[in-house]
Amino acid sequence: MSTTVLTTRPSGAAPAGPRTRTEPARIPLSRIVAVELRKMFDTRSGFWLMASLVITSVLATAAIIVFAPDDQLTYDNFAAAIGAPMTVILPMIGILAVTSEWSQRSGLTTFTLVPHRGRVLGAKFVAATTVGVVSMFVALVVGALGTVVGSAIAGVDAVWNVSVTHFALIVVGSVLGMLFGFMLGLVIRNSAGAIVTYFVYTLVLPPLLGLLAANQKWFADLQPWVDFSYAQRPLFDGSLTGQQWQHLASAGALGFLLPMAVGLLVVRRAEVK
């Protein structure tokens, strides 16, 4: 036995028109970037990874003040000491900004709330770049304080031997290193695998390529054009010639932009579980 429910309308009333459904407003990119920035800090591991940028900067500055001779208490040396740990930590942040969606199994939620994966990845890119630039300015302040305090303790004049151009190139080099980690996260999508690949690339591959260049003339001429790590190194020296900029563009296109394009294509098509 079935029951039929009849609906009636008052006599003389106009028939109801088709129902319209209001489309929700699109989530602005600024909000997605803010969420991605917050995701970098709101876990215990993420918080301490970010805090390690400041902690290692302070420890490196203190080490220079305590152990360096008086004539080595220059801003250049403080900047170099602070930059050494940052070149390791920043790429880790870039890697985890991407791989956390897979390692923490939050990708299904993220890409359901924002189905357009390109917008999420773009927000991650902006968030990672922002963290890298801000970190370098934190290093600038810590290095300046170290120069002032170290010179005052030693009783020598403060030496400011890093120009604005030199600092800008250091920022570019550090951010490129971070974005290289971001690229590895896109390609591999596994935190442990991407981190191991990064250390192989930075610690194992350069000596092997240097040995090959020392013994093979053809590769010695080719290396600046294809080795991204080799082409990136002059950025930290504070000046690049026109040819070195060409080396960086060529090696960056092969070793950075092309793999990132492949990673973006794979991530946008990969199944998220």
pLDDT confidence of residue 245:
92
- Which parts of the chain are beta strand (E)? none
Going residue by residue through the chain, which has 273 residues, state the pLDDT in tens, using 9 for 90 and above.
455 554 555 555 555 555 666 666 777 888 888 888 888 887 777 788 888 888 888 898 889 888 888 888 888 888 888 888 888 888 998 898 888 877 767 767 777 777 788 888 888 899 989 988 898 888 888 888 988 888 888 888 888 888 888 888 888 888 898 999 999 998 988 888 999 999 999 889 989 998 998 888 888 889 999 999 888 888 888 778 889 899 999 999 998 899 999 988 888 776 666
Buried/exposed code over 205-222 (b: 16+ C-beta within 10 A; e: otherwise): eeeebeeebeeeeeeeee
Does pTM top 0.85 for this prediction? Answer: no
H-helix segments, 189-241 = 191-199, 205-215, 217-226, 228-232
**From the CB of residue 11, how many other CB atoms can be counted at a distance below 10 Å?**
5
**Nearest alpha-carbon partner for 156 in 164, 148, 167, 165:** 148
Residue 17 CB: number of other CB atoms within 10 A?
6
